[in-house]
Structure 1
Amino acid sequence: MPASRKVNANCIAVKRSIKFLVIHAAQNSPAPLCEKMFKNTFQSGFLSILYSIGSKPLQIWDKKVRNGHIKRITDNDIQSLVLEIVGTNVSTTFITCPADPKKTLGIKLPFLVMIIKNMKKYFTFEVQVLDDKNVRRRFRASNYQSTTRVKPFICTMPMRLDEGWNQIQFNLLDFTRRAYGTNYVETLRVQLHANCRIRRVYFSDRLYSEDELPPEFKLFLPIQKPMTKSTNQAICN
């Protein structure tokens, strides 16, 4: 049966420094001209960029693995195939979309939604957007960070995931406006790091209730399992 419960996100303080990949400043400002993957795609409703059940779930993604693994497995809670990303260091095991570093997504839909399972380990994801000042901004959410920090080209923030499966809803329009006082134009890149399991990653034109979602965008729990916190909605603050 479908499960849906909204939970406000709080920070979890973890006193450990995490090394991140150094991203060249040229990615920030101004934005160079790149080929947009979804430029000619009609963007309305839902636009999926990863579905774990698909024949080639990472077809448009690149992956980096060091001291870890990225593989498709069967999750016991939902009895279905999911993508698992596990690594000893979150910065060295991840997937990124588009696969070609010279391309961008060019997705204008303002809501990023990810169906993610909490592995009870460090987890982070990053979204790069373009604003109306033609500046690239990055938003990084982590479950080990305790405070929000806004710098000219990157905003880092805490994220709390409940036990089991979570639905992360990321309002790119609102975050861009609140962090930088500019308007969101489009998403350029999405990067998901260890440690997590992924069911689907998609964009939408607005937030949809569980009843409004197409069946393939819902997360179904086996009928024999009781309803628990397995599917929650984590909202980054």
Structure 2
Amino acid sequence: MFKNAYQEGFLTIFYSIGSKPLEIWRNQVKNGHLKRIVDEDIKSMALEIMGTNVSTTFISAPRDPKISLAIKLPFLVLLLKNMRKLFTFEVQILDDQKFLRRFRMSNYESKTRVKTFCMSMPMGLSPGWNQIHLNLADFTRRAYGTNYIETVRVQIHANVRVRRIYFTNKLHPEEELPNEYKIMMTKDKKPDPKKTPIPKARPPTPEMHSNSAPAIPVGSSVTDEAIQ
């Protein structure tokens, strides 16, 4: 999908503000809902994905399951709100051995498990909005001893609110981020030294070829207090 696109800096695959935020996404909803709402904390639009079963309510990109996103940028960043319910998401990548691998994060797993084609990891989220950073190249190397080539698919399941999902070539300090890439967009003004900066989460990564490892706190960087 993005194979021939210019891939440098920031590449967004979902943004809750706009006329067609799910243009490249396929969705499935069973016993739940998928809708845009105005979030009370950030005072802006967010996509709410809710369902009684996390496996049957989700959005998936690209829309066509037969094609690949073909995104080579190694860092994936998600701006998500903790809804205090079961939640999971997964990323499918292609490595230099031409194998498709999946990284699955959830807040109901207790251990990291590495299988031949899938690695599942526990994810801890702070109350309110969170910034989640995934170093896909590092995950691939440590878990499988191979090199990351590109991201094939991203799938976000219930229960969560989503503001933006994007890829980048490196992690940027908060002050270097464009305003629209922050959880809480701010007006142009001098920084307040008394205001607590928004921290970022860089999740630890699993040991290579491990079948079971201790829990890895994959998320949680922004609390309700930090964004008010």
Deviations for 1:154-183, whole angstroms, at most 9, x for unmatched residues? 000011000000000000000000100000
| C-alpha deviation, 1:220, in angstroms | 1.4
Counterpart selection for 2:8 from 41, 44, 51: 44
Structure 2 Cα separation of the partners of residues 232 and 160 of structure 1: 15
Give the letter aligned to residue 42 of structure 1: Y
Aligned pair 1:188/2:188, yes or no?
no
Q: Given that residues 87 and 107 in structure 2 are in contact (C-alpha distance below 8 angstroms), is that contact kept between their aligned partners in structure 1?
A: yes
Aligned partner of 1:149 among 108, 113, 118: 113
> Equivalents in 2 of 1:73, 1:232: separation in Å?
25
| Contact 1:62/1:95 (<8 A) preserved | yes
Q: Which residue of 2 aligns with 1:208?
A: 172
Aligned to 2:62: 98
Is the 1:77–1:222 contact (alpha carbons within 8 Å) kept by the matching residues of 2?
A: no
Report 1:52-201 matches (<5 A).
Answer: 52-201=16-165
- Read off the aligned partner of 1:55 and give its amino acid letter: S
Measured in 2, the distance between the counterparts of 1:110 and 1:70 equals 28
Answer yes or no: is the 8 Å Cα contact 1:144–1:158 preserved in 2. Answer: yes
**Which residue identity lines up with residue 36 of structure 2 in the other structure?**
R
* Cα offsets for 1:171-224 (capped at 9, x unmatched): 00000001000000000000000000000000000000101111111121689x
SS across alignment from 1:211: helix
Give, as a single letter, the amino acid of the residue that structure 2 aligns with 1:174: D
Instruction: Name the count of aligned residue pairs.
Output: 198
Using the size of structure 2 for normalisation, the TM-score is 0.83
2:47–2:163: 8 Å Cα contact kept in structure 1? yes
Partner of residue 30, structure 1: none
Q: Deviations over 1:83-118 (max 9, x none)?
A: 000001100000000000111100000000000000
Structure 1 unmatched ranges of 5 or more: 1-36
Equivalent residue letter for 1:138: R
Distance 2:14 2:170 in 1: 19
d(CA) in 2 for partners of 1:77, 1:220: 9
Gaps of 5+ in 2: 188-194, 204-215, 217-228
Q: State whether residues 73 and 83 of structure 1, in contact with CA within 8 Å, keep that contact through their aligned partners in structure 2.
A: yes
How far apart, in 2, do the equivalents of 1:71 and 1:218 lie? 21
Task: Supply the AA of the counterpart residue of 1:68.
Answer: G
AA in 2 matched with 1:193: H
Distance in 1 separating the partners of 2:155 and 2:47:
14
SS in 2 for 1:117: strand
| TM-score computed with the length of structure 1 as normaliser | 0.80
Deviations 1:103-148 (A, max 9, x none): 1100000000000000000110000000000000000000111100
Following TM superposition, by how much is the alpha carbon of 1:235 offset from its aligned partner in structure 2, in angstroms?
A: 4.2
Q: Deviations over 1:3-35 (max 9, x none)?
A: xxxxxxxxxxxxxxxxxxxxxxxxxxxxxxxxx
Q: What residue identity is the alignment partner of 1:185? A: I
Within 5 A, what are the aligned runs for 1:8-19?
none
